[in-house]
Amino acid sequence: MRSSVIVFPGSNCDRDVAVALEKFHIKNQMVWHNDTNLPKTDLVVLPGGFSYGDYLRTGCIASKSKIIDDVIRHAKKGGLILGICNGFQILIEAGLLPGILLRNIGLRFLSKNVFLKVVNTDNQFCLNYKNKDIIQLPIAHNEGNFFAKKELLKMLEDNNLIAFKYCNKNGEIEENSNPNGSSNNIAGVISEKKNILGMMPHPERLIDPLLSGEDGSILFTSLIKS
Amino acid sequence: MKITPEIIDKHGIKPDEYKKIIKLIGKNPNLLELGIFSAMWNEHCSYKSSKKYLKTLPIKNDKVIQGPGENAGIVDIEDNDAIVFKIESHNHPSFIEPYQGAATGVGGILRDVFTMGARPIATLNSIHFGSHLHSKTKNLLNGVVLGIGGYGNCMGIPTIGGEVKFNSSYNENILVNAMAVGLVKKNKIFYSKAKGINQPVIYVGSKTGRDGIHGASMASNKFDNNSEQKKPTVQVGDPFTEKLLLEACLELMKDNSIISIQDMGAAGLTSSSVEMASKGNLGIELELEKVPCREENMTPYEIMLSESQERMLLILNSGKENQAKKIFSKWGLDFSIIGKTTNSKNLILNYNGNEVANLPLSSLSKDAPEYDRKWIKSTNSKKTENPKNFKSLKISTCLEKILKSPNNSEKSWVWEQYDHTVMGDTVQKPGGDSGVIRIHGKNKGIALTVDSSANYCLADPVTGAKQVVCETWRNLISVGSKPLAITNCLNFGNPEKDKIMGQFVETIDGISQACTYLDFPVVSGNVSFYNETKNNSIPPTPTIGGVGLIKNLNNMMTKNFKEPENHIFVIGKTLGHLYQSEFFREIMNFNNGPPPKVNLFNEKNNGLLILDLISKKLVSSVHDISSGGMLIALSEMCISGKIGAKIRIPNNIIGKHEYLFGEDQSRYIVEISEKNKKEAIKILEKNSVYYEVIGKTQKDYLDLEKEFKINISELSKFNSIWFKNYFEENYGS
């Protein structure tokens, strides 16, 4: 499998995710935001960080970068796209995923490990979570409060397009385990064709037992399963 | 413009200093030249009151690659890897404008580290506020935490440790000390010393604006009623630009284009150009109209004295300009050739073809004033009467009260606002004795901590300063690292007062003694004087940042209890020293008396023994005993491990309050399994280290025989509610 990590000015998890991809033998290339064409690639990754300093609106300016047109073409062809944290915000701004990411309800940046329930394991990113669907991953964001109108929420639920929900350690989805105020505790969503995943938690940060867990690894092993 | 005594005074220059200027340069300075002197001769930049004593600190051993005098200190961690680190204060600006003050404090110290060619891999901070009841504290705390997070999070560098303290002596003078740590290849270190004449001087980064003019002079003066009017002297940070500057500089540093590089920090373009040229014993000539400006019609005076952030000055090998320019344009940053090195040994400034300043560099650097200020010995707090009636107080009530106090509360409310896992190498998060960062791609790591003990230092500066160094040493030992070196941030009042100067002199003596004995050199640091408002000075507050090496991360240690039925050992002797303890302060409201004694032999002996036990895998958890004493340390081990303990106070001659809350030094609590007990005792006895076995770990309850039994989840609640209550926040779990 080949991947391309897009580097925007202000991206800061680009190296971390590249390290994770390479650890699982995915052949990765870094792609500069000003390029117009993606190299030959199966997976495009939009990494976390503060693209364009979060100015205007998180992800907004990056979603107008030169490379994004080709990312959209890649999406339309059914190519895989993973957006993590700021990458998720960019995917929404680019219209590739629905919803809005608002500021955290507590109006504070939050960096901590959270429990997640893997709601949909029937997609290329989450296949291997079938055996372990209550996991822990770090979040680190200021604008991760996923908001959607009632109709959209219903559509996402009915069509099983929610990948992850914040939960407690027993996997129960409850308000107390919702760190940022997201509608229905949503932490990650997938596109209708299931080729695009946007998520606030950082799987690339938990791929090593030394770093107190490997739940992030499962996402990458799922990707190489095909 | 005529230079009047009022103008000279406004520039913070004393009449006799002005006379010295005229003598050194052989003419009356013009306004621009006076401004340059003001920027270079102020306390913050010139260290004129502290230099004499800083020279006495131990700064070398075989691990030190670079000691004080450069942008940051550097220590060797083997395999061609080196660690670059420094701590710096941003106290005055943070009080005037907490968000920007703290943010640019982080930005400034990060530039010091990547200027040397290192990629920053961690930051830490020590922040001190006034009483939590003081009307300004909540806003200041909130702003400072948001500012530190705002800058560090955007840069994508984990903030992995620090301390937050409250004391009414900081009501009008808060402290914001930020430390940055970077990783560099030993053969790819960059320095600020200029070399060669006619080499191009390059300006890169943000444009120059009118912000922060005279920032360093402001930080070299005490506050009065009008301090808040000094807001325009506070710089405004843009971490996004700094991130671009970081990447662009590191990209350029991959080849050999750069001769020398210096960030524009305090005193901006003035100090960077002066320092680079004078270190190289050269001259420098700048064309100020070529400096990229944010605002129209900026004067040479404003350009030279602006402290706009995110700027660097480079001297390139001539011929490399285009290649360098390409990199900076790619990152969308300004790049301008603004001058050249010369052999004149003068700073010459031109503006649109006219010479506007011409000063011998030596007058700005090596001939700057150096004072031997008057000082008096501190009248150290003597042993006085103990506060009465504490012996009848219930231990459990005291424990609860201390755990719930702002100073002893668990600080996750603060550090969860800082991204501490970005870069994917955070092996030990904030909240432990030290943060631990893995060296990228390797199985070794560094331990990092910052510490201060202002209460001890106020009661007895020599002992207090020794204690802070030892506390740093212990925190590094407790996670299984070998302590390497420190950086210090020395926060004091007005050095023109003999009492304050005395505190400074004695603090340096204490740091020197401890660092020399422990072979723990000082490789970088900063002095912040004039932390004083309306004659009220802060207590002497040396903040120590320490770095230790863990050669094999599989041997890293943590403080959380691991499993029930293990033995709990206290290493080091408990004498029951309660003066200056959290117990006396929080429970008895009693602040007199001397701090605990520091015995450097025991400190070293006990510390090295703990390292030995860790490396032999004989201990399951380790925590040093510090502020609050043994019972607080035990509670922290229970809370973090979600494991209880059953404790019995040994038949002891001292009282139980003294035993449980005393703050005697050189002590650790360790957890040892039944299997390892015999071997551990053998080593302890062979090394004549004093130890006591005080009980065993158990499930769910902290149980002190004949006193109390409390559920760990309740104990945890005591320790974690203060910040949320203070800010009335309750979102999520």
Note whether A50 contacts B244, CB cutoff 8 Å: no
- A-chain CB neighbours of B553 within 8 Å are 210
User: Where does the pLDDT of residue B234 fall: very low under 50, low under 70, confident under 90, or very high at 90 and above?
Assistant: confident
**Residue B733: what pLDDT?**
46
Q: Is B331–A204 a contact, with Cβ atoms under 8 angstroms apart?
A: no
Q: Please tell me the distance from the alpha carbon of residue A102 to that of residue A92, in angstroms, as a whole number.
A: 12
Q: Which domains does chain A have, with CATH numbers?
A: 2-225 (3.40.50.880)
Q: How far is Cα A4 from Cα A27, in angstroms, rounded to an integer?
A: 9
- According to DSSP, the residues that pair with B335 across neighbouring strands are B204
Closest CA to A85 of B647, B101, B156: B156
pLDDT of residue B216: 62
Options A85, A93, A141, A143, the catalytic residue = A85
Tokens 């010393």 appear where? B193
User: What is the rounded CA–CA span in Å between residue B370 and residue B91?
Assistant: 23
What is the SS3 string spanning B600-654? Answer: HHHHHHHHHHHHHHHHCCCCCEEEECCCCCHHHHHHHHHHHHCCEEEECCCCCCC
Per-residue pLDDT averaged across B196-221, rounded? 84
Q: Is residue B188 predicted with pLDDT exceeding 60?
A: yes
A136 touches chain B (CB under 8 A): no
**Mean pLDDT throughout B121-139?**
97
Q: What percent of chain B has pLDDT over 90?
A: 91
CA distance A78 to chain B (A): 30
Q: What is the spatial distance between Cα B75 and Cα B522, in angstroms, rounded to a whole number?
A: 10
Q: Which of residues 56-85 of A touch B (CB under 8 A)?
A: none
Between A208-217, B334-343, B660-669, the lowest mean confidence (pLDDT) is in: A208-217
**How far is A130 from B670, CA to CA, in rounded Å?**
40
* Helix and strand numbers, DSSP H then E, in chain B: 26, 28
Weakly modelled stretches of chain A, pLDDT under 70: 226
Query: Catalytic: A141?
Result: no
Question: What region, left, alpha or beta, does residue B153 occupy, with left being phi > 0 and alpha being psi -120 to 50 degrees?
Answer: alpha
- B508-560: pLDDT as tens digits: 999 999 999 999 999 999 999 999 999 999 999 999 999 999 999 999 999 99
Cβ of residue B97 closer than 8 Å to a chain A Cβ: no
Alpha helices (runs of H) in B162-299, residue ranges in sequence order: 215-218, 239-252, 268-279
Catalytic residue check, A85: yes
Answer whether A53 sits within 8 Å of B155, measured CB to CB. no
- Residue B174 contacts by C-beta under 8 Å, 6 or more apart in sequence? B91, B94, B95, B98, B127, B128, B129, B130, B140, B144
How far apart (Å, rounded) are the C-alpha atoms in residues B334 and A126? 44
pLDDT of residue A75: 98
How sure is the predictor about B694, in pLDDT bands with cuts at 50, 70 and 90? very high
B575 C-beta neighbours (distance < 10 Å), count? 15
The confidence score (pLDDT) of residue B1 equals: 73
- Whole-Å CA distances, B483 to A150, B75, B545: 57, 11, 11
Residue B399 has pLDDT above 60, yes or no: yes
Average pLDDT, chain B: 95
Is 60 exceeded by the pLDDT of residue B732? no
Measure Cα distances from B66 to B198, B328, B500, B524 in Å.
28, 28, 30, 9
| Residue found under tokens 């009449």 | B15
Q: For residue B687, is pLDDT > 90?
A: yes
Q: Which residues of B touch A110 (CB under 8 A)?
A: 416-417
Question: Is 0.90 surpassed by the pTM of this model?
Answer: yes
CB of B582 within 8 A of CB of B407?
yes
Question: How far A125 CA lies from chain B's nearest CA (Å)?
Answer: 20
Residues 6+ apart with CB under 8 A from B16: none
Asked if pLDDT for residue B147 goes beyond 70, the answer is: yes
CB within 8 Å: A181 and B729: no
* pLDDT tens-digit map of B421-476: 999 999 999 999 999 999 999 999 999 999 999 999 999 999 999 999 999 999 99
Beta-carbon pairs below 8 A across chains A and B: 98
List pLDDT tens digits, range B666-678: 999 999 999 999 9
Tell me, yes or no, if A60 is annotated catalytic: no
| DSSP E strand stretches across B361-506 | 426-428, 435-438, 445-451, 482-491
Q: Which two structure tokens, joined as six digits, stand for B633?
A: 């340390």
Contact B634, B647 (CB under 8 A): yes
Q: What is the pLDDT of residue B210?
A: 87
Measured between CB atoms, does A103 come within 8 Å of chain B?
A: no
Question: Among residues 151-170 of chain B, which lie with CB inside 8 Å of chain A?
Answer: 153-156
- Give the torsion sign (CA, B622, B605, B467, B570): positive
Query: Is B422 close to A180, i.e. CB distance below 8 A?
Result: no
Contact state of B731 with A106 under an 8 Å Cβ cutoff:
yes
Give the whole-number percent of chain B exceeding pLDDT 70: 97
> What pLDDT does B220 receive?
66
Check pLDDT > 80 for residue B316: yes
What is the reported pLDDT for B227? 66
Mean pLDDT value of segment B383-391: 81
